[in-house]
Each structure stands twice: as C-alpha cells, then as structure tokens.
Structure 1
Amino acid sequence: MTNTPVTQQASKSNSAIFLDTSLPNLARIFDYMVGGTSHFEVDRQAATEMLKILPSLRKWVRLRRAFIQEAAQILHKEGFTQFLDLASGMPSDDHLHAFAPGSRIVYSDINPVAVSYGRSLFAERDALAYIRGNGREPENLIRDPEVLKLIRLDEPIAIGLNSLQLFLAEPEVRHLAQTLFDWAPKGSKLFLVFQTHGDLTMPEGYYQFLDLCKQAQLPIQLNTLEESVEMLSPWHPSLVEPITQFLGLPDGFITKEEQEGIGMAFYAAFLLKQ
C-alpha cells in the first residue's frame, strides 16, 4: 500500500511550525494527552475535538508511553546498554534512561523545542544526549557527532522508532529501515508500537480525524498490521503482540467501541537484525 506523502510544509519548516502557538501541533497535543506540560490552549482545544471523534485516543496514547517504559526494562535486562531513540518528543524524567540505568542513550527529534530542552536537561549527563534528527534523513542522523561518540558499532543497539512510522510516507519508512539495518550491528533491535487499522471500510470519523491531524501540522497514515511490519523489512519481527497483552492488562481493557469502528489496534513490536 502506498501512503499519501506528507505535506511539504511539514518537511521544510518544522521549527516555525512547532513554535507557532497560534496553530495546533500534534506533538504538543499528544504531550497534553499523556499529562505533560509542553502545550498551549490551541493544542488543548484541538485535543478536545479529536477526542470527540476518537474518545479512546487518550487511552491509546498513554498505552504507547507505557510500552516505551516496559520495553526499555526488557531490553536492559537482555543486555542492551546503548539506545538510539528517534522521534523522542519532549524529554521527561520517565523516559528510557529511567528504565535502562547506566545505558548510553541518544534521543533525537525534529522538534527544536524538544531538542533545546533535552540538551539543557541532559547537559550534565555524559551518557545521555539529545540531538536534532530527521527520520527522512537517517544518514545524517547516524553520522551526528553525539551518535559517533556514544554509540559503539561493536555491540548491538536498541533503536526506538516511537510513532515515527505514522508520519512518514511508505518510501521514507522503507529507506529508514534499510539505512538503520545496514548501519546497526548484528543482534540490534528495533522497538516500537504499530498503530494500525483493520482491513475494512473506514467510517467518516476516521477521515475527520485524519483531517484534524493535517490541521495540526503532522498528517498521519494508519496501515494494517501486515503492511506496517512489511515496511520495516529486512528487520525480522521477533515479537509482535497486542499492546494490552504485552503490558499484562486484562481482557476487555480496550473495548470493541474503543476500536472506533476502524478495527484500530496497537501492537507492541520488537524486530531483530539477525
């Protein structure tokens, strides 16, 4: 399936877009939904409109945050001591470094506010860095001086993709996956949440939600689970399961109604370079 390419506006003027507080921004909207503080009234208003269309959205966003924390602990127990995190968002005290102590971690984002805050927050932490990175330009990201300083290529790397796949066109996702695969040592893992829809006719509310995301400067594209996994080839899926199962939540935690008529589902995923 070919994704609709993201808008030119989103790719060429991210700094101006994020700093424009007269327009809603999806990163700030999601920050609001997980209880963060980096948002404005326009973002809260947009979040309210989104929740009218997809009432379960706040729950889904918080499940994704819980996955990141659980995944970091699992990877740390498996022996991973270095992480490269893409599309990290606003830095916080409950991010990867809190759950993988002693690890070397490079966070990255295209959002200049997140990068500036992260650099300030981690200024005295030799094993942590926050860099400006664009998922559409992975070659530049892996050559960043902080990556070269903290990430060693003689041991496996845990690479977090967060929600990045939502915001890239299909060719961009494939290019990112191949670049990271060629760069990372054998035994490295991608970890992320696949945010998917079912293989069925989409209701009007789905398209209303996509329109709101476009207005928030970050158009998104949901795919089926099979499409989402295939786009990350040649990475090999080692675990893909419903996020509620991964987090040990009870059956029925996500109701049929909360799938919003589109078969919406989140899957915890780890993909291995064999």
Structure 2
Amino acid sequence: MYDYYLDGKDNFAADRAAAEQILKNFPDTKVGARANRAFLRRAVRYVVDQGVRQIVDLGAGLPTQGNTHEIAPEARVVYVDYDSVVCVHGRALLARKDNVDFLQADVREPDALLDKLGGLVDFEQPVAFLALAILHFIPDESAYDVVAKLRKVSVPGSHLVISHAVDSTPDATPQALEIYKKATASLNLRTREEILRFFEGYELAEPGLTYPNGWRPDDPTAPGNGINFGYVGVGRKL
C-alpha cells in the first residue's frame, strides 16, 4: 500500500484495492506518504553525518522510491520485514547489492529479531534503527517493549528514527482502522506524548518531535510544510 501511495510499481492488486479505499476517506494519504519518505531521506543523511555506518530499516516493505541503501551507500543496510513474499521480492530487487541484506523477521518479536540481526550487525558499534510508519501497527505494551530492547542492545551514539501516525481525522478514523485490520494489521494511533515515550533514553535532535515536513526541511518555505500527517523524530542514545 505504501509503495502504491508513492506511485511505485512494486505492489499487488490487493494492496491497490485497500489503498484506494483509504484514499476515499483520507485523500491526503499520498501527500503524507511522500512527506514520510522525504523525512526518511533527510533522517538517513543526518545519522550518516553523525558517523553511523549501520542502519536497520524495520518493517521496510518492498523496496520502493528512494531506498535507504541508495541514500546511504557508505553504510551497511539491513531491511527487515515479516512477510515472506515481500522478502523474496525484496531480495530479487536488491540482488548483487553490496553491503545490503533483506532479513525476514517480525518486529513484534524483538528477541528473535535481534538474534537474527546478530550475524549482520556489529552491536559494539553505533547502529541506527529506522521505525518509520511501523510502530502504529503494534499494540501499546508490545511497541514500547520492542523499542526498549532495541535501545538496550545499542551502544551510545546509536540512533532511533521514528515516524508515527496520529488521529488527525477522528470522524473518518474508524473506517480506516477497519480497512487496515482487514488488509494488513490493526492501527494503534497514539498522542504526541505517547509517541514521545519511545525516545526515553535518547536525546532528540533538533527540532525535536514534529511533523514530517517540519523536521529539517530542505525548503522551509515549501507549501504544505505546516501540515501534520503525524509525528517524526530522531534520537541519539546517551
């Protein structure tokens, strides 16, 4: 669905049908997806500038427009997704890419995930975990437990990058929740304060927790920079 919102070519009929249902209720979803992707590019450039050379992209989905390994060719990049079909297609799309892996693992099972990552990532060196548009698909206690375990295994200087949806259209939200429940996974929308909790133990980079287009925008005067499609932030482990 995300790839479809980005006008990508790597999506399936079921994805397109569910995405079109969402767009009927939330016509700005494509704009939000592109804002999220633009934030990804800026955040990845930022963590690389901080000296991080290992990036784990959680719930990555199919490689789409502007991939992490393309933004940070100097870094070791591990894409993670639980869907076996996504992983097969992802590995095919990334065939012969040096320093890039596509790992099948479920973010909701952090212990198993970290065991699998152990052979691909050196946890004695800083690592950046990207959790973009993924934590709102995980229930509360499980989501906070996942992030806590990622933080525990990370050395100081590691980074956490989050984008998270909010309930910006309460009247239409129940319909969207039902669509996502049938199509992929249930949505668990959170408040700004609840999203901020994920960054406990991290120092937030300026400008802190903000909307996607408001995080270090390439053009601060661009139209739509004041629209809130959710919250994003980048934290450095202390």
Cα deviation 1:217-272 (Å, max 9, x = unaligned): 311021111111114433443332222222235365167xxx7xxxx632231122
Paired amino acid for 2:62: M
**SS at structure 2 position matched to 1:160:** strand
Q: 1:103 to 1:171 in 2, by over 3 A?
A: same
Using CA pairs below 8 Å that are at least 6 residues apart, which structure has the higher relative contact order?
1
Q: 1:244 to 1:47 in 2, by over 3 A?
A: same
Q: CA deviation at 1:167?
A: 0.5
In the other structure, the counterpart of 1:6 is none
Structure index of larger Rg: 1
**SS at structure 2 position matched to 1:106:** strand
Question: In the alignment, is the contact (CA less than 8 A) between 2:10 and 2:64 conserved in 1?
Answer: no
User: 2:86 matched to 1:114?
Assistant: yes
In the other structure, the counterpart of 1:67 is 39
**SS at structure 1 position matched to 2:172:** helix
1: CA distance between counterparts of 2:77 and 2:97?
10
1: CA distance between counterparts of 2:35 and 2:52?
23
Paired amino acid for 2:212: I
Q: CA deviation at 1:55?
A: 1.2
Cα deviation 1:12-43 (Å, max 9, x = unaligned): xxxxxxxxxxxxxxxxx222111122333343
2: CA distance between counterparts of 1:158 and 1:131?
16
Cα deviation 1:46-70 (Å, max 9, x = unaligned): 3222112111111111111111112
Question: In the alignment, is the contact (CA less than 8 A) between 1:193 and 1:266 conserved in 2?
Answer: yes
In the other structure, the counterpart of 2:209 is 240
Q: 1:215 to 1:254 in 2, by over 3 A?
A: farther
Paired amino acid for 2:183: A
Q: TM-score, normalised by structure 2?
A: 0.89
Q: Structure 1: which 5+ runs fail to align?
A: 1-28
5 Å-filtered alignment, 1:257-272, equals 265-272=229-236
Q: 1:211 to 1:95 in 2, by over 3 A?
A: same
**SS at structure 1 position matched to 2:165:** strand
Q: CA deviation at 1:162?
A: 1.4
2: CA distance between counterparts of 1:41 and 1:88?
19
2: CA distance between counterparts of 1:52 and 1:61?
15
**SS at structure 1 position matched to 2:209:** strand
Question: In the alignment, is the contact (CA less than 8 A) between 2:56 and 2:127 conserved in 1?
Answer: yes
Moved more, 213-222 or 115-124: 115-124
2: CA distance between counterparts of 1:121 and 1:211?
31
Identical-residue share of aligned pairs (%): 25
Question: In the alignment, is the contact (CA less than 8 A) between 2:167 and 2:173 conserved in 1?
Answer: no
5 Å-filtered alignment, 1:174-185, equals 174-185=144-155
User: 2:160 matched to 1:190?
Assistant: yes
Question: In the alignment, is the contact (CA less than 8 A) between 1:167 and 1:219 conserved in 2?
Answer: yes
Q: TM-score, normalised by structure 1?
A: 0.78
Q: How many residues of Structure 1 are paired with residues of Structure 2 in the alignment? A: 234
**SS at structure 2 position matched to 1:45:** helix
**SS at structure 2 position matched to 1:80:** coil
Q: CA deviation at 1:143?
A: 1.4
In the other structure, the counterpart of 1:44 is 16
Q: What is the aligned counterpart of 2:125 among 144, 150, 155? A: 155
